[in-house]
Chain A
Amino acid sequence: MRFNEKELVFLSRQPSERAAELGMRGPKKGDVVKRRLVKLIVNFLFYFRTDEDEPIGALLLEQCRVEREDDHVFSIAFLDEAERKYLFECGSQEQCVEWIDAIVKASYEFMRKNLIYYRTEIHRLTGKDPLEQYGISDETRFQVNSGLPPPPT
C-alpha cells in the first residue's frame, strides 16, 4: 500500500500537541521495551529512535482503545484485538494520565462528535446554525447523524 510518506515525515517534524521520550513496547510476543521519542500530531502518533530525526513509524489513532495499565503505563489496542497492545511507559502518573487524555482527544472521530454536539447545542440555544457562515453546513462530515455509534449487533 502506498502513502504520502514524505508529506507524513514533514508532518512529523511540525510542532506537536505532545512529545516525550517514553518506553515503548510493540504488540507481538517477544517485543521488548525500547526508548522512543513519541510525538502526537493531529491523529497520528509518530515514534522516533531517540537520536534520529526521521520517524520509524506512525500509528493512526482511530478505532483504538487507550487504557491505563499501571500507575505510569498506558496501552493502545487496535483492531479490536484486545490482547495486541502497544505499551507506553511514562515517567510519572501525571504524565501517563495526560498522554491518555491527549490521545483520546486527538482522534478525528472524537472531534467530529464534539463538533456535532456544539453545533446542535448552539442551534438549540440561538436558533442559528453556526456552520452556515463557514459555508460548510451541508458537508456530510458535519451532519448531525454522522459520527453516531453504530447500533449494537
Chain B
Amino acid sequence: MTMANLIYPWVLISVHVKLDRPVIAPGHGCTPGGVVMKIHEKILTHYLSCTSPVDKEGYLYKKRERNTTYLCRWFVLKGNLLFYQERPGDRILLGVIVLEGCLVQACETDGQFCFSLVFTGPVLRTYRLAADDHLSQESWIGALFCASHFYLSMIVRDLERRYEEARRDKGLCDSIQTSAVTSTPNKIMASWNTGQPYFLHGTSIVPRDGRSYSTSSVPPPSMPNRPISYSLHAPPIQFKTTNKRSPKLWPKTNAHVTPLNGPAPSFGKWPVVGFDPLEEFSKMHEYYGNEIKQLRADWLRKKRE
C-alpha cells in the first residue's frame, strides 16, 4: 500500500488512531439528541464475511466528520454497502455506509484524488474520501456509482424487457403482438423521472477506454461538484401505424399545404416570408392556418351540398 503522506500532509498515517466519539451501544446509531435505530450489526458483519462477491476493496482516506483530518481506512464494497475498518482482516468493523440516495462526485477542493458521497436530503451528510492516485479514484467512483440497489433494479428491469424483446425477435414468444415494438438501443438516456424524486444518482463519470457511451453528456472526471441526475428510462417505443395516409390523397391544388407523412415541398413552393425566424414562423403559421381554414370551409360546404 502506498502511504501518500507526501501528497496529503494533513493525513494521519497512523492506523491506530482512536475513534472520534464513543460508541453508545453495539449496532446503534450515534446521533446526538436524535434517533437511535438498531441496525443489527451481526447481520451486516455476516454479509461482509460471507462468500458473496466483494465488489471492490482497498485503502482510502476518509475525512472525519467534525475535523479536517483524513484517516486511512480499509474499505470493502459489497452490494449497496460500503464497509470500513482499520486494516483488512480486522475483526472489528468501524462502520458501514448504506449507499442509497447519494451522488458520487469527484471533488478536488481538499486536494487531488478526492471524491464525495453526497446524500441528498435535508440534514444529510457528505462523506469525503480520497484515493492514492487517479486510477484508484476513477475506479472507486465507477464502482460506487453503480452500487445502489435502486440502480441495479433499474438495470435489471431494463434487461428483462430487452430479454423479452430478444426472445420475441427470435420467434421464441407465443404471444401475438398487434403492434411491432422497436427500440433504439443506443438511446438509453440519463434523466430522472420516476416517483422517487429524492433520489439523485450521478457521477462525473469517467468514460473508460474503448467504452462507447450513448448518454448525452459525459463530463471529464476533473469537473468538481457536478451532480448529474442519472437514471434510466425505457427507450422510445415506435409503433408501426397501419393507416398511413398516402401522399396521393392530398389535394394537388394546395401545394402549400405540407403533407404530414410526405416530404416537404421543394423550396420554390414555400410562401415567401421575411428573414427573421420568429416572424417567419408566425407568418407561416398564419398563412398555413388560413389555408386550413379555407380547406375546412370548402369541405363543409361540399358536405352540405
A interface list, Cβ under 8 A from B: 1-11, 14-15, 42-44, 54-60, 62-64, 78-79, 108-109, 111-112, 114-115, 118-119, 121-122, 125-126, 128, 130-142, 146-147, 150
Contact = CB atoms under 8 A, between A and B. Distances in A.
B52 A1 contact: no
Contacts of B11: none
B166 A3 contact: no
Nearest to A10: B121
A135 B207 contact: yes
B159 interface: yes
A107 to B, nearest CB: 9
Contacts of B160: 114, 118
A133 B212 contact: yes
A152 to B, nearest CB: 11
Contacts of B214: 133
A135 B205 contact: yes
Interface in B136-166: 142-143, 146-150, 152-153, 155-156, 158-160, 162-163, 166
A57 B80 contact: no
B40 A121 contact: no
B38 A119 contact: no
B195 to A, nearest CB: 6
Contact of A7 (B40, B50, B98, B208): B98
A42 B31 CA distance: 23
A144 B53 CA distance: 12
A62 B188 contact: no
Interface of B: 23, 26-27, 29-31, 34-35, 37-47, 50-53, 55-56, 79-81, 93-98, 100-102, 119, 121-125, 127, 142-143, 146-150, 152-153, 155-156, 158-160, 162-163, 166-167, 169-170, 185-186, 188, 195-196, 198, 205, 207-208, 211-215, 232
B79 A62 contact: yes
Contacts of A147: 52-53
B206 to A, nearest CB: 9
21 contacts: A1-B96, A3-B29, A6-B34, A8-B37, A11-B100, A15-B195, A42-B80, A42-B150, A58-B38, A59-B40, A63-B43, A78-B46, A114-B160, A122-B159, A125-B166, A132-B212, A133-B188, A134-B155, A138-B211, A142-B146, A147-B52
A62 B31 contact: no
Please classify the interface of chain B as helix (H, G, I), strand (E, B), loop, or mixed, using the class held by over half of its residues: loop
A141 B53 contact: yes
**Most chain A CB neighbours (cut-off 10 Å) among B149, B170, B185:** B149
Kindly name the residue among B39, B93, B101, B208 whose own CB sees the greatest number of chain A CB atoms within 10 A.
B39
A89 B40 CA distance: 21
Given A4-B119, A60-B44, A150-B51, A125 B125 contact: no
A51 to B, nearest CB: 15
Contact of A43 (B30, B46, B79, B170): B79
A121 B162 CA distance: 10
B94 A2 contact: yes
A79 B42 CA distance: 8
Contacts of B208: 135, 138
A111 B211 contact: no
Contact of B123 (A6, A43, A60, A108): A6
Among B123, B159, B195, B214, max chain A CB count under 10 A is at: B159
A108 B43 contact: no
Given A122-B162, A141-B143, A7 B119 contact: yes
A126 B166 contact: yes
Contacts of A112: 53, 79, 152
Counting chain B CB atoms within 10 Å of each CB, which of A56, A136, A142 scores highest? A136
